[in-house]
Amino acid sequence: MARAIGIDLGTTNSLVAYVDDRNRPQVVVVDGKKALLPSAVHYRMDGGIEVGGAAKRGAAEKPVDTILSVKRFMGRGPGDIQPEDRGIYHFDETGSLVKLAVNHGKRSVTPVEVSAEILRVLKRRAAEHLSGPVGGCVLTVPAYFDDAQRQATKDAGRLAGLDVFRLVNEPTAAALAYGLDKRSQGTFAIYDLGGGTFDVSILKLTDGVFEVLSTGGDTHLGGDDFDRVVAERLLAENDLSSSPMLLRGAIAAAQKVREALTYQEMIEIDVDLPGGRILRAKLSRDDLEALIRPVVERTTETCLGALRDAGLAQNGGKKVDGVVLVGGATRTPLVRRHVKSIFGQEPLTDLDPDTVVALGAAVQADALDKGGRDDVLLLDVIPLSLGVEMMGGVVEKIILRNSTIPASATQQFTTYADGQTGMVVHALQGERELARDCRSLARFTLKGIPPMPAGLARVEITYSVDADGILAVSAKELTTGIEQKIQVKATYGLSEDEVERMLVESIEHAGEDVAERFLVEWRIEGERIIQSLESAFQVDGELLSPDERAHIEKRIKGLREAMTTDDYLAIKAWIESTDGASKAFAERRMNKHIARAMAGHRVDEFAGQVRPPDDQ
Amino acid sequence: MNCWSCQKAVGPEDVFCPACRVLQPEPPGADLFSALGLSRGYDIDPDDLEARFRARSRQLHPDRFARASARERRLSLERTTRLNDAYRTLKDVRRRAAYLLKLLGKDPVVEARTLHDPEFLEEQLELREMLALAREKSDQRTLALIATGARDRLAAIDEEVARLFAEADPGEEALLSIVSALARSRYFENVVAEADPTAPPAQPR
C-alpha cells in the first residue's frame, strides 16, 4: 500500500520522512548515507539534471547552471529579487515570472520547476526506500510564507507528481514532532532559523491539540546570511574583490569555517577557489560572533512581537514553558545564547534541529492519510493579515494575522462614483497601512453593477483561507446577486494553465526520465510481491489446491519475465494480474492468522489494530 | 432534518449522522454560540469555552477528512471556519458583547453614532494629550501609569456590561447602556495599545 510522506523543502537542504509500522517517524536516507539532500539543482549542458550533493559539489565550477537556495525565489516577482540573491544567476527577463536562464540561455526555468526537481528526487528515494509507490504528502513551508509563496510550493509539489495533502508550517511541524516525543503540555516557543528563512511560533499544547497562538518571521534571514558576511570578510582579508564567482567559492569556505567554529574556538584553513586562487581562512569564534551578531539580533524584534501577539509579553513577559530550536543555524553557540536571553531560559535541543521538521511533516501526513489521529491535531494560523485596497491606496484588513485557519470574513463595500458599474478588487497581504507596502496577491474586477448613485450599491467581499493558508476571494453585488469567485492566483505566480503546460512539458521533455522512474518503482513493487508470495507458499502452502497454486505461479513467471524488460507498463500489468490471482489466497491466510491470533485474546485487544473501512 | 447521505433522521445537536456517521451541515439559523454547543448568553467560563473549542476542532477539522468524500470535506471546511470564527468572537468579552448586541437587534457601530457624551470626550482629549507628551519624552513611568489607568477603566466597563447582560431581560435602556460602554471601551483599548508596546493588538469587532 502506498505510504504517506512528509517533506521538508529547505533553502539549503531538503528531507523526506515517513511513519513506520511501529508508528515512529523516520527520515529516509537520500544521498549516500545522509538524510539531508542539498537543495541544489544542476542543469547540465547535455540536458540532464543533477540534484543534491553532486550538484552542490560542482556548484563552484558551474555557478550559473547550478541553482542553490531556490526557495528564496519562490512566489516572488522579478521586482522582488534582492540584489544579494541575484548573485551570479542569469535571469530570463521576459514575462512577469522570475525565470532563471541556464545553459547559456538555451533553457529557462522557474523556481517552481527547480523546486519540483528536488521534490522528484525525494519522492523517488522515498519510493525506493519504502519499496513501493508513495501516497499523499505533506510539504512544509516557513510559517511566514505569504500566499504567493505557499501557492508556488504547492505548484512545485504538483509538478513533481506529488499528491499534496497539506502545507504545514515548519515550526508547527517541529512542535508536533517534539511535543509527541516529549508528551509536553504548556506554552512553547519554536525558534526556527534555517538556511534562508527565520520563523518563530508560539504554541499552546493541550491534550495533543497544538494551537498556534502567534507567529512571526522573516523569509529573508538565515544561515546563508551568516555565510555571506563571513565570506565577504574572508575575501577582503585575502585582498580579493567580491566577484559573484569568487563569492560562491568563499561562501562554501565560510560554511566550513562556521561549522567548525561550532565545536572549536579557532580555525585556520586554505580553500581552493575557482581560477586556481587560494583563500586563507583564519577566524576565531569571537571573530565569527562579531560578524554574525547583527544578523542574529535581527531575530529579537520578531520574537518579542510574537510573544506580544500571543498575549505573553505584558508585565515583564510571562515565560513560556519551553523553547525549541529548529534549523541547522541554531547550532551556532551565539544563536543559542541569544535565544536564551530573549526567552529567559535554556532552549531545548534534544531533537536534531535538521530533521525535526521533516519528522513532524511525516506524522501529519500519516495522520491525514488515516483520517486524523485521536491524539494529535494542529490548529495553525495565517502569518500575515489579508486585506483589500480602498480608495486612496489604503488597505482595509479583512482577516487579521494570527487568525486560526481555516478562516473566513466578509465585509461590505460600496461604489464611490455615480453610475459606477465595475469595482476593482485588489487583494493584499501584509501589516502595512498602504497597498504599495503590502504584497499584491490578486486583482480582479467585479462587473455588472447596475448604475446607481454613488454609495448605494452594496458589494460584499468574502475572503476565505483554507487549511493550507491559501486564500480565495469572492465578490457579490447584493442588489442583483451578481457574484464572482476566484481562487487567488498570485500576481507573480503560475496560472493553472502554466502549471498544466509544465506538467505536460516535464513529461514530454523528460519522457525517458519518467519511464525510468516508473520502471524502478514497479520493479521494486514486483520484487516485493514475488518475495512475499514465495514466503507465503512456504508457510501457508496447504491453503491452496495444486491448481490454484499453479495459477498463481504462472502469473509470477510472467511478472519475472516482464521485470527483465524495460517495459514498465507490462510490469505494472503483471503485478495487477498477480495481485488479482492471489487475492483469495491472501484472504484465506488472513482468516487463518486472525483465528490463530485471537485464540486466547479478547476481541477489544485488537480494536486498535483494525482500520475502519473508510480509511482504505 | 434528514441525513444528506443516508436520509435517516438527524437531530439539531447531531454533528454526525447517528446512523451512518457522516458529517452533517450546521443546522439552519444556528448562531456562533451554538457552533460551540452553547446557548446564547454573555456569561461564559473561559476554560469551558476553550475546552469546547478543542473538542469541536477534533470532530470537525479538515485534517480528519483528508480521505473523506468531497461533500464531507467541504462541510468540514465550512464548519471549522465557522467554529474558528465563533471561538475568536466569543473568547474576547467585548467582541462577545458586540456580537450579542447584534443578535438582539442593536448594531453597536450604528447605535454608537447617535451617542453624545461631551464629558467623556473631554476626558479622552486630556488623556491623549498626556499620552502624546509622555511618548514624546519617552517617559516610561507615566506611560505605565496611563496604561494601568486605562486597563482599570476597561475592567470597570467589562463589569458594567456583565451586570447589564445579567439582568433578567435587558430592556432597551440596558442595551443602549451596553452600546455606550462598548463605545467607550474602544478609546481605552487604543490608549493601552499606544501606552504599552507589550500589549497584544486590539481585536476588531
**What average pLDDT does range A292-317 have in this prediction?**
87
Residue A602 pLDDT: 39
Task: For residue range A30-78, list pLDDT tens digits in order.
Answer: 766 788 999 999 998 888 888 998 888 888 778 889 999 899 999 888 8
> Distance (Å) from the C-alpha of residue B68 to the closest C-alpha of chain A?
8
Q: State the pLDDT confidence band at A601, using cuts at 50, 70 and 90.
A: very low
The residue that leads in pLDDT, A506 or A609, is A506
* B70 at A interface, C-beta within 8 A: no
Record: contact A378-B63, CB cut-off 8 A: yes
Task: For residue range A330-371, list pLDDT tens digits in order.
Answer: 999 999 999 999 998 999 888 899 999 999 999 999 999 988
Q: State the pLDDT confidence band at A608, using cuts at 50, 70 and 90.
A: very low
Residue A131 pLDDT: 85
**What average pLDDT does range A373-382 have in this prediction?**
88
| pLDDT of A478 over the 90 cut | no
| pLDDT of A598 over the 60 cut | no
**What average pLDDT does range A209-213 have in this prediction?**
94
Average of per-residue pLDDT values in chain A: 84
CA-nearest residue to A316 within chain B is B198
CA-based max dimension of chain A: 88
Q: What is the DSSP string of A176-238?
A: HHHHHHHT--EEEEEEEE-SS-EEEEEEEEETTEEEEEEEEEETT-SHHHHHHHHHHHHHHHT
Predicted interface score ipTM higher than 0.85:
yes
Task: For residue range B132-169, list pLDDT tens digits in order.
Answer: 899 888 888 999 899 999 999 999 999 999 999 988 77
Question: Shortest CB distance from B64 goes to which of A372, A379, A404?
Answer: A372
Task: For residue range B75-124, list pLDDT tens digits in order.
Answer: 999 999 999 999 999 999 999 999 999 998 888 777 776 667 788 888 88
The residue that leads in pLDDT, A256 or B47, is B47
| Angstrom distance (rounded) from CA B170 to CA A510 | 72
A347 alpha-carbon distance from chain centroid? 25
Residue A614 pLDDT: 37
Residue A612 pLDDT: 33
Cβ distance A393 to A408 under 8 Å? no
Record: contact B66-A405, CB cut-off 8 A: no
| pLDDT of A25 over the 80 cut | yes
Task: For residue range A87-135, list pLDDT tens digits in order.
Answer: 778 888 777 778 888 888 888 899 999 999 999 999 999 998 888 889 8
Task: For residue range B23-36, list pLDDT tens digits in order.
Answer: 999 988 899 999 99
* B67 at A interface, C-beta within 8 A: yes
Residue B38 pLDDT: 94
**What average pLDDT does range A467-480 have in this prediction?**
86
- Please enumerate in sequence order all residues whose Cβ is within 8 A of that of A103, keeping only pairs 6 or more positions apart, or say none: A43, A44, A45, A65
The residue that leads in pLDDT, A346 or A569, is A346
CA-nearest residue to A376 within chain B is B58
Cα–Cα distance list, A167 to A157, A214, A252, B126 (Å): 10, 17, 31, 50
Q: State the pLDDT confidence band at A230, using cuts at 50, 70 and 90.
A: very high
The residue that leads in pLDDT, A536 or A374, is A536
Residue A613 pLDDT: 35
Options A50, A65, A71, A99, the catalytic residue: A71
* A185 at B interface, C-beta within 8 A: no
Q: State the pLDDT confidence band at A15, using cuts at 50, 70 and 90.
A: very high
* A485 at B interface, C-beta within 8 A: no
| Angstrom distance (rounded) from CA A180 to CA A189 | 15
Q: Which of residues 126-155 of B touch A (CB under 8 A)?
A: none
- A-chain CB neighbours of B201 within 8 Å are 309, 400
A239 alpha-carbon distance from chain centroid? 40
Question: Shortest CB distance from B85 goes to which of A206, A211, A408?
Answer: A408
| pLDDT of A610 over the 50 cut | no
Q: Residue A170 catalytic?
A: yes
Q: Identify the CA nearest to B194 among candidates B123, B133, B152.
A: B133
Q: State the pLDDT confidence band at A495, using cuts at 50, 70 and 90.
A: low
**What average pLDDT does range A416-423 have in this prediction?**
85
Residue A455 pLDDT: 81
A58 alpha-carbon distance from chain centroid? 25
| pLDDT of B173 over the 90 cut | no
**What average pLDDT does range A253-259 have in this prediction?**
88
| pLDDT of A476 over the 90 cut | no
- B-chain CB neighbours of A3 within 8 Å are none
- Please enumerate in sequence order all residues whose Cβ is within 8 A of that of A134, keeping only pairs 6 or more positions apart, or say none: A2, A3, A4, A5, A123, A126, A127, A162
**What average pLDDT does range A435-443 have in this prediction?**
85
Q: Residue A106 catalytic?
A: no
- Please enumerate in sequence order all residues whose Cβ is within 8 A of that of A2, keeping only pairs 6 or more positions apart, or say none: A132, A133, A134, A135, A136
**What average pLDDT does range A588-602 have in this prediction?**
64
| pLDDT of A213 over the 50 cut | yes
CA-nearest residue to A381 within chain B is B84
Q: Which of residues 387-416 of A touch B (CB under 8 A)?
A: 397, 400, 403-409
Residue A605 pLDDT: 36
Residue A513 pLDDT: 54
The residue that leads in pLDDT, A488 or A61, is A61
| Angstrom distance (rounded) from CA A31 to CA B29 | 57
Question: Shortest CB distance from B61 goes to which of A369, A377, A408?
Answer: A377
Question: Shortest CB distance from B54 goes to which of A206, A372, A466?
Answer: A206
Q: State the pLDDT confidence band at B66, using cuts at 50, 70 and 90.
A: confident
Residue A106 pLDDT: 85
The residue that leads in pLDDT, A13 or A496, is A13
Residue A503 pLDDT: 61
Residue B142 pLDDT: 92
| pLDDT of A274 over the 50 cut | yes
Cell of A573: 500489468
All structural domains of chain B with their residue ranges: 1-91, 109-195
Q: State the pLDDT confidence band at A253, using cuts at 50, 70 and 90.
A: confident
| pLDDT of A603 over the 50 cut | no
* B57 at A interface, C-beta within 8 A: yes
**List of domains in chain A:** 3-182 (3.30.420.40), 223-291 (3.90.640.10), 386-497 (2.60.34.10), 510-615 (1.20.1270.10)
Record: contact B65-A372, CB cut-off 8 A: yes
**What average pLDDT does range A287-314 have in this prediction?**
91
Task: For residue range A162-182, list pLDDT tens digits in order.
Answer: 999 999 999 999 999 988 777
Record: contact B63-A377, CB cut-off 8 A: yes
Cα–Cα distance list, A468 to A96, A135, A163, A464, B63 (Å): 25, 18, 14, 11, 11
Cell of A171: 515550526
| Angstrom distance (rounded) from CA A481 to CA A460 | 10
Instruction: Give the class (CATH, top level) of B1-91.
Output: mainly alpha
| pLDDT of A604 over the 70 cut | no
Q: Residue A71 catalytic?
A: yes
Cβ distance A353 to A327 under 8 Å? yes
| Angstrom distance (rounded) from CA A55 to CA A42 | 5
3-state secondary structure of A108: strand
How many C-beta atoms lie closer than 10 Å to residue A317's C-beta? 15
